[in-house]
Structure 1
């Protein structure tokens, strides 16, 4: 059975930060990373290729996990510096007309009223094309930037997030869809009977409402989530419209998607309304041989320089991997950080040294190597096995050459096979996401 049409997104790890500044194809990114040019070019290329959405990852701290210091992170521009992605959203919306734009927001640190008002405003500015990637945040350093001594425990963070989205949706609904009548003859702009207080008084949040911004164009803008732990999966299955799936093998993808769909159904949702898009890092070149040479080169470089991977994992999990012997298995470790990511890391490490694990680990699927047509065929095979719903480009390599290889090389090959859309069917992000 051939794979049905699937969705495409791009997970911009590093967000509004420094992208590949040492790469030979980086151009002048080291000097102008804080300007919007590269990300605007990415968004325009993605819309040309009819992607569903661009997701801007974000965090609010300078890591010091690896070696107990900020030195490695700052010297290598790893996860810092990073500017706030929110001001980028209107610029990206202005540069495009159909592409969904998804900034990242922490449910642990944003007040629900502020987030509801901001996203509603952006949804109107973009004519119904924004989403919101909800994260609970994992770092104690981030928590300390917002007045806490340590971060909340993993369970409490998700309990808080569940109430957070409940409050935000109540605030979006505080204006009924037809509350604005703009009747100049009667002198009535908004019907007071259709604007309501929220009066929420919960365990973590208290807000009166109503929102002093209009109901979003989409009603409820698209919610994105990336929970990998059991509690994270439950939260995502209950609340998310699209989920960032992280898996290293096709069977893992299939198992993850089936689990999410079962959880969504148990929540009373239609599983088809919860799209799981899996992180991938395709290596595309004019020929299969050239692509394989490039993939082999990247693998060799990763094996020779394991510190960046260990430092990245450290900043995600809060574990200082510099204190472990590289030539011994990792052993038992625990975290108050991203438990799903740590579980993946540990699972891959069974019977392998930390050096071997760090040189071969990826947050996504890396088994896509070849010419555009070959990779398109591989993606078709994967989706045929998994069952849906699509992919998120999630590579660490982001420069204009790679963007073109994906959007102007790989995607046309997918379109020729009828696997991805060649034109948008709707004006709004949510409608395009739920189209198939």
Structure 2
């Protein structure tokens, strides 16, 4: 078993209606406007000593299936969604240690606005904020901000590199110790420690400095999910934690090795960035119980093929409603959206029809299959980390409800802690320091 614990985080899909239409979700259709479920998530995962919660987001109503918004609206697929900055701020106020990581797209915010917003969140959280930096993938989202569509995939990352330069310059515009607050001299801020940025790049311009003051962490924790070759280079250059969706031990190890090589090429230490792999464990009182739950989940996935294709099409910009679901996806289909998702689909397909592929694609597992009792799943997670040499796992469980949280907090986490595989208390006050604690 690994000699040190690994990191755990939670990928919260959206910030409004969770698992609409599924069992154990109560009256979510009437109560989704109220933040209590999300505050419960934050409290529970902090009690469980998770490193962070990543608040996924999108800024448009999907219409990537049959050229219509109908299936998305009828089934509550990523809609309605509330602004993640508001939900994140509320989550910070009911917690004291766990990191909160809202998603903000570089296409939707000028760098000055984003830097100011994130610095403010870091202040009100006491140094526990992160930013899931995304470049955007949907033309529909771009149109909501007055653009004709998204720039080409690799160009988006070129622009994002410059965007990060601007943000880092703005966060650095306040030196440590700039706020003196000396009542005797009457000086609040040392003017010699606050500087203009005067950035004039190809894509972005800003004068600076930030007027919001310094962020407790200096800079927020940057999360990224770069899967394409260009995305990996961007993540290696800027990210403090990377979300990885690849299937199988060999692919997990290969991704980590590749991004570490990119980090070294950027002059960074691989240990400064934590690579977390997506998982969706299925827990039961017995192995048989867990297997039965897995079968039920797979059966439900089969019944909802069109809904799942609509969701998949939303992130890949592919309208699967145009194809015969009982035939393979044509080879000439490409995407300007999430390229790794399409690549993973093709690896899974192996000539099978769209319907057959989606029956197994992302239905019951993600990077590795985890199914069994809490102790058995904990043991397998330890084995996987030992084989991969990775840093931890990101739970991606779309059916979030209080039952799900209890199974993780009161079932799986104690089993992991008993094996010495995760912390039993936070080491530090700031998010980044806890990420770098081991």
Bucket of the pairwise TM-score, normalised by the shorter protein: over 0.9
State whether residues 280 and 366 of structure 1, in contact with CA within 8 Å, keep that contact through their aligned partners in structure 2: yes
Q: Report what 2:366 is aligned to.
A: 364
Tell me the CA shift for residue 366 of structure 1. 5.0
Give me the whole-angstrom Cα distance separating, in 2, the residues matched to 1:242 and 1:137. Answer: 19
Q: Report what 2:236 is aligned to.
A: 237
Q: Give CA-to-partner distance per residue, 1:282-322, whole Å, 9 cap, x none.
A: 00111111011000111122123311221111101111111
Q: Report what 2:24 is aligned to.
A: 25
Alignment of 1:24-423 (within 5 A): 24-332=23-331, 333-362=333-362, 364-365=366-367, 367-423=369-425
State whether residues 20 and 75 of structure 2, in contact with CA within 8 Å, keep that contact through their aligned partners in structure 1: no
Q: Give CA-to-partner distance per residue, 1:10-39, whole Å, 9 cap, x none.
A: 0011x1121112112001111111211111
Give me the whole-angstrom Cα distance separating, in 2, the residues matched to 1:395 and 1:366. Answer: 14
Give me the whole-angstrom Cα distance separating, in 1, the residues matched to 2:166 and 2:293. Answer: 48
Tell me the CA shift for residue 90 of structure 1. 2.1
Post-superposition, which runs of at least 4 consecutive aligned residues in structure 1 deviate over 3 A? 1-4
Please give the secondary structure, in 1, of the residue aligned with 2:307.
helix
Q: Give CA-to-partner distance per residue, 1:305-360, whole Å, 9 cap, x none.
A: 31122111110111111111222221311011111211111221122211111111
Q: Which moved more, 1:147-156 or 1:134-143?
A: 147-156
Paired residues in the alignment total 435
Tell me the CA shift for residue 381 of structure 1. 0.9
State whether residues 309 and 359 of structure 1, in contact with CA within 8 Å, keep that contact through their aligned partners in structure 2: no
State whether residues 4 and 384 of structure 1, in contact with CA within 8 Å, keep that contact through their aligned partners in structure 2: no
Please give the secondary structure, in 1, of the residue aligned with 2:202.
coil
Please give the secondary structure, in 2, of the residue aligned with 1:213.
coil
Q: Give CA-to-partner distance per residue, 1:61-105, whole Å, 9 cap, x none.
A: 001010110000000000111111111122111111101000000
Give me the whole-angstrom Cα distance separating, in 2, the residues matched to 1:358 and 1:4. Answer: 37
Tell me the CA shift for residue 184 of structure 1. 2.1
Please give the secondary structure, in 1, of the residue aligned with 2:214.
coil
Q: Report what 2:4 is aligned to.
A: 4
Give me the whole-angstrom Cα distance separating, in 2, the residues matched to 1:262 and 1:395. Answer: 30
State whether residues 16 and 34 of structure 1, in contact with CA within 8 Å, keep that contact through their aligned partners in structure 2: no
Q: Give CA-to-partner distance per residue, 1:167-212, whole Å, 9 cap, x none.
A: 1110011010111112222221111111100000001110000110
* Unmatched tracts of structure 1, length 5 or more: none
Please give the secondary structure, in 2, of the residue aligned with 1:38.
helix
Give me the whole-angstrom Cα distance separating, in 2, the residues matched to 1:365 and 1:395. Answer: 13
